Amino acid sequence: MAVTTSTGVKTPTGVKTRRLADRVAEMTSFKVVDFLEAAERLQAEGRDIVRLEAGQPAFATPQLIVEAAEAALRDEKTKYTSALGIAELRRAISDLYRQRNGIAIAPERIVVTTGSSAALSLIGDLLINPGDGVLVTDPGYPCNANFIRRAGGEPQAVPVEAAERYQLTEKATRAHWQANTIGALLASPSNPTGELMDRAHLEGIHKFIASQGGTLVVDEIYHGLVYERDETSILEITDEAFVINSFSKYFGMTGWRLGWMVVPEDVVDVINTMAQNFYISPPSIAQYAALAAFQPSVIAEMEARREELQRRRDFFVPALRSLGFGIPVTPAGAFYIYADISALMKPGRADGEAFCWDMLERAGVAFTPGTDFGEHLAQSHVRFTYTEPMERLELAVERLSSALGSRG
């Protein structure tokens, strides 16, 4: 559907004069959805497609969590909860920080949300005035720019390079800070690169932003899914940053729509008011189910999955390299590979979208064009996820190999 705010909505029968708000014209769409739908269409026609496009673990929700949800339903835990989330879950998340990061985070600073997407939305509305700028990386998670725009702000893209592991540095933060910049919204590990900011980077960026009176928001949704390197939470460095997290990725609960944020103490009350108004409460059944996520046996299961994801990464990265994809740094975490296709296209003619359509059509392998994640390296890059079982990844390599071999 094409949307224009001056003329209304274009429909198959012509232009309807329905006035829409200007902000919808600025929204960028998520191209991954086009590939997801196309892959599903091909599958419905009977084709086997290796699905490496969507950003979600292909594992089932752990049994104990499912059982806890069944019990919540039976016990009629089906009503609104506190807008900030049930106290038991906020305490359990606080314990997770104690165990994982060795830090004491008061449960009162933890706000349970409807996926981390709701946390991003609340933080945007809390911090951004019309005209304010917020630094984001390019490439980066595409929805961030839309959350910023929705609040009337200006996403200020900072191009990042493989040499810096695709992460922001203190130097780049200084260089791109403008008169209207109020902070930065960063993800570590990042989507689409899987790259991680180490402690020194985080400290440098935090120090500079604090010196400007700005706010640092770190999306730590892929924490727990880091392979051989250490992950540092910004909360180990400062209580002033905002942290986003979720049950979607490490716990593999994307459809349960449950996330959380950790915020400075002085904004909890205003966030409570915002959440009450905008969402009333996060989903009750998902919250009671998530209490089971912290059982030692569930954590052990998640750790085994993390090891399995590492095994898949260790197979898939070199396999893609041997097919000609450029992957200058081995991604440290998440389940993404951001790959350069320049060597696979005619010189100066890299076109990630055309490449992805071609590979979906001819190889039966679905993955995402770089244009979903920004502009900087977008045309010459694509994103693979490696959440599918090993034999499917092996099949993807086989199919890509023969399709690339037969390209004219």
Ligand X SMILES: Cc1ncc(COP(=O)(O)O)c(C=O)c1O
Under the rule (CB under 6 A), what is the footprint of ligand X?
55, 115-117, 141, 187, 191, 219, 221, 246, 248, 254, 259
Q: Whole-number minimum distance, CB 280 to ligand X, in Å?
A: 17
Q: Which residue, 196 or 404, is less far from ligand X as judged by CB?
A: 196
Q: Whole-number minimum distance, CB 336 to ligand X, in Å?
A: 9
CA distance 35 to 54: 9
Full DSSP string of 26-53: HPPP-HHHHHHHHHHHHHHTT---EE--
For residue 163, CA distances in Å to 167, 187, 301, 328, 335 come to 9, 17, 34, 8, 20
For residue 198, CA distances in Å to 74, 135, 314, 327, 334 come to 45, 19, 21, 20, 15
Contact by Cβ (8 Å): 246, 261: no
Q: Which residue, 187 or 237, is less far from ligand X as judged by CB?
A: 187
Q: Whole-number minimum distance, CB 334 to ligand X, in Å?
A: 8
Strand order in the sheet with 368-369: 336-340, 381-385, 368-369
Phi, psi of 346 (to 5 degrees): -65, 145
* Cβ within 8 Å of residue 241, ≥6 positions away: 206, 215, 216, 217, 218, 234, 235
Q: Whole-number minimum distance, CB 145 to ligand X, in Å?
A: 12
Q: Whole-number minimum distance, CB 245 to ligand X, in Å?
A: 8
- Rg of the chain on CA atoms, in Å: 21
Phi, psi of 28 (to 5 degrees): -95, 145
Q: Which residue, 381 or 399, is less far from ligand X as judged by CB?
A: 381
Paired tokens of 216: 């640092």
Q: Whole-number minimum distance, CB 225 to ligand X, in Å?
A: 11
Q: Whole-number minimum distance, CB 34 to ligand X, in Å?
A: 16
Neighbours of 133 (CB within 10 A): 21
Paired tokens of 313: 């990464």
Q: Whole-number minimum distance, CB 115 to ligand X, in Å?
A: 3
Q: Which residue, 181 or 193, is less far from ligand X as judged by CB?
A: 193
Residue 51, Cα to own-chain centre: how many angstroms? 18
Q: Whole-number minimum distance, CB 375 to ligand X, in Å?
A: 18
User: Mutual orientation of helices 352-363 and 390-405 as an angle, nearest 10°?
Assistant: 110
Residue with nearest beta carbon to ligand X: 115
Q: Which residue, 173 or 246, is less far from ligand X as judged by CB?
A: 246
Q: Which residue, 121 or 181, is less far from ligand X as judged by CB?
A: 121
Helix (H, G, I), strand (E, B) or coil at 328: coil
Q: Which residue, 201 or 399, is less far from ligand X as judged by CB?
A: 201
Q: Whole-number minimum distance, CB 248 to ligand X, in Å?
A: 3
Residue 77, Cα to own-chain centre: how many angstroms? 29
Residues facing 396 on adjacent strands: none
Q: Which residue, 282 or 352, is less far from ligand X as judged by CB?
A: 282
Paired tokens of 54: 């969507």
CA distance 242 to 109: 10
Q: Which amino acid is present at 168?
A: L
Q: Whole-number minimum distance, CB 153 to ligand X, in Å?
A: 17
Q: Which DSSP category does 68 fall into?
A: H
> Which of 37, 30, 35, 29 minimizes the C-alpha distance to 53?
35
